[in-house]
Chain A
Amino acid sequence: MSHDFSRPVTGHVPVLRLGDILLVTLQGDLYDSAAQQLQQDIGETIVSTGVTGVVIDISGVEIVDSFLGRVLAEIAANARLLAARTVVSGMRPAVAITLVELGLTLPGLRTALTTEAAMNLLTGVDPDTRSGGLRRESR
Chain B
Amino acid sequence: MPEHETVGPHGSPSREVGDFLRRRTEQIAQRWADEPLFRTVFTVSRDEAVEAGRIVVEALAQVADTDQVHDPDAAGFTVVREQLARMGAARSRAGFTTAQVSNDVDALRPPVENLLLADLPEEDSDRVRECATALTVLMGTLRLVVLETALSEGQALIERQQLQLMEVATPVIKLWDGIVAVPLIGTLDSARSQVVMETLLEAVVDQHARFAILDITGVPTVDSLVAQHLMKTVAAARLMGAECVVSGIRPAIAQTMVHLGLDLGNVITRASLADALAYTLHKLGAGIVDATPGGAGSR
Contact = CB atoms under 8 A, between A and B. Distances in A.
Interface of A: 88-93, 95-97, 99-101, 105-106, 109, 111-114, 117-118, 128-133, 135, 139
Contacts, number: 73
A97 B241 CA distance: 13
A113 B285 contact: no
24 contacts: A90-B241, A91-B241, A93-B204, A93-B205, A95-B239, A99-B239, A100-B235, A100-B236, A105-B235, A106-B239, A109-B239, A111-B238, A111-B239, A112-B241, A113-B204, A113-B208, A113-B210, A113-B241, A114-B241, A117-B241, A128-B178, A131-B285, A132-B284, A139-B299
A13 to B, nearest CB: 20
A129 B286 CA distance: 9
Given A89-B241, A97-B197, A135 B235 contact: no
Q: Which of A96, A130, A131 has the most chain B CB within a 10 Å cutoff?
A: A96
Contact of B285 (A109, A118, A128): A128
Contacts of B29: none
Interface residues of B, number: 26
B243 to A, nearest CB: 10
Given A128-B178, A128-B285, 17 more contacts: A88-B241, A91-B239, A92-B240, A93-B202, A95-B239, A97-B197, A99-B236, A99-B239, A105-B235, A105-B238, A113-B208, A113-B209, A113-B210, A113-B242, A117-B241, A128-B284, A129-B285
Contacts of B283: 132
Q: Which of A91, A97, A128, A139 has the most chain B CB within a 10 Å cutoff?
A: A97
B246 interface: no
Contacts of A90: 241
Question: Chain B's interface: helix, strand, loop or mixed, by majority?
Answer: helix
B28 interface: no
Interface in B200-251: 201-202, 204-205, 208-210, 232, 235-242
Interface of B: 178, 197-198, 201-202, 204-205, 208-210, 232, 235-242, 282-287, 299
